[in-house]
Amino acid sequence: MRISSKFHSIAVAVIAAAGVSIASAAQLKEGVQTPPGEHEMALRRELAAARAELDVMQREARDASAHAQALAAKQAQILKEQQQIDEALETAQRVIEDFRAEAILWDREKAAGAHPSMEASQVAAKQALDEERHKVELLEQELTTARQTIDALKTGANLAAIEKSNAIKDRSVVETALKQAGEALELERERADSAARDLDIVRKERDASKQISAELSAALEKERERAIGLGRSLSAAREAIDIVKDKRRTAALERAPKSRTPLASTLSRSGAQPARKPGLPKKRKVKVKKSPHPVLPEPIALPAALLPTRPL
């Protein structure tokens, strides 16, 4: 049947659309870890195409339903016409029976011996009877034709009933396929939304990681600068300590007892310095103001990510 094949093609198309949507969702699930782009756009195009195809299939299903209703109405009209023809046949049969009864009655009257003067009227009655018989034959032919028409209408009605039954079955199959395709599309839509949410979460985590990395880099750079500054301060403090030690050593030598050797007295009076041992460095006297407050290293503020955590 044409309608049955049409419904079958619609069901196949619906199942194919559902399969395409499931395959698209599987591709999207595989590409969740990748940046959004082609997978998401392809899924949206597939969903839009599936919705459009479903709309077309629903329209075709409605058209098929309307066609089935039209067939049912046609079948009802055929049954009504059949009833009318049956009534007309019954009326024709009654007329034929009446004509036959009149013909029999007329033959009986003729056999009983009518008046000789009525021969002319008998001839006329015979002609009328022949005409009535001819009419009866015509009515019988019409009755046969009507019966053949009724048989043809019954055959058409049976075919229409079978076609309607097949259309109802195919419509049920299409509706089931449409329902399954709708459920599959809804499931794939939910999976696509879940995948999109997962992608958003991954993007946010990536952005947060980048921000934390930038903050850590800035904190490390700052601490590196502080360490360099502390190193410089430490070097300066060491130099100051060495100078102070030299001054203290010089002052201690000056406070020593003035029991000097004649050579030392002679050198002191002449202003000459005693001879130094070879290889010893020459000491320099540098005046450094001693700070009243000791130099303390500046505390380092670590970021929250680098602070030690207490074990649970």
Has residue 243 got a pLDDT over 60?
yes
For range 286-290, the mean pLDDT:
49
Read out DSSP for 177-188? HHHHHHHHHHHH
The residue that leads in pLDDT, 150 or 169, is: 169
Cβ-based neighbour number of residue 25 at 10 Å: 23
**In one letter, which amino acid is 9?**
S
The residue that leads in pLDDT, 109 or 192, is: 192
The residue that leads in pLDDT, 100 or 2, is: 100
Q: Residue 189: what pLDDT?
A: 85
Read out DSSP for the chain? -HHHHHHHHHHHHHHHHHHHHHHHHHHHHHTTTSPSSHHHHHHHHHHHHHHHHHHHHHHHHHHHHHHHHHHHHHHHHHHHHHHHHHHHHHHHHHHHHHHHHHHHHHHHHHHTT--GGGHHHHHHHHHHHHHHHHHHHHHHHHHHHHHHHHHHHHHHHHHHHHHHHHHHHHHHHHHHHHHHHHHHHHHHHHHHHHHHHHHHHHHHHHHHHHHHHHHHHHHHHHHHHHHHHHHHHHHHHHHHHHHHHHHHHHHHHHTS-----HHHHHHHHHTPPPPPPTTPPPP-----PPPSS---PPPP---GGGS-----
Has residue 271 got a pLDDT over 60?
no
Residue 52's pLDDT band (cuts 50, 70, 90):
confident
161 and 75 in contact (C-beta within 8 Å)?
yes
For range 54-80, the mean pLDDT:
76
- Give how far Cα 258 sits from Cα of 183, 209, 252, 254, Å: 112, 74, 12, 9
Residue 301's pLDDT band (cuts 50, 70, 90):
low
Q: What is the pTM of this model?
A: 0.35
Q: Residue 20: what pLDDT?
A: 46
39 and 27 in contact (C-beta within 8 Å)?
yes
Has residue 259 got a pLDDT over 60?
no
Where do the structural domains in the chain lie, given as residue ranges?
Answer: 2-216
The residue that leads in pLDDT, 12 or 143, is: 143
pLDDT above 70 covers what percent of the chain? 64
Which residues have CB under 8 Å from 61's CB, separation 6+? 7, 10, 171, 174, 175, 178
Main-chain dihedrals φ then ψ at residue 112, nearest 5 degrees = -70, -10
Q: Select 2-216's CATH number: 3.40.50, 1.10.10, 1.10.287, 1.10.3470.
A: 1.10.287
Highest mean pLDDT among 38-42, 49-53, 254-258: 49-53
Has residue 27 got a pLDDT over 70?
no
170 and 8 in contact (C-beta within 8 Å)?
yes
Residue 303's pLDDT band (cuts 50, 70, 90):
low
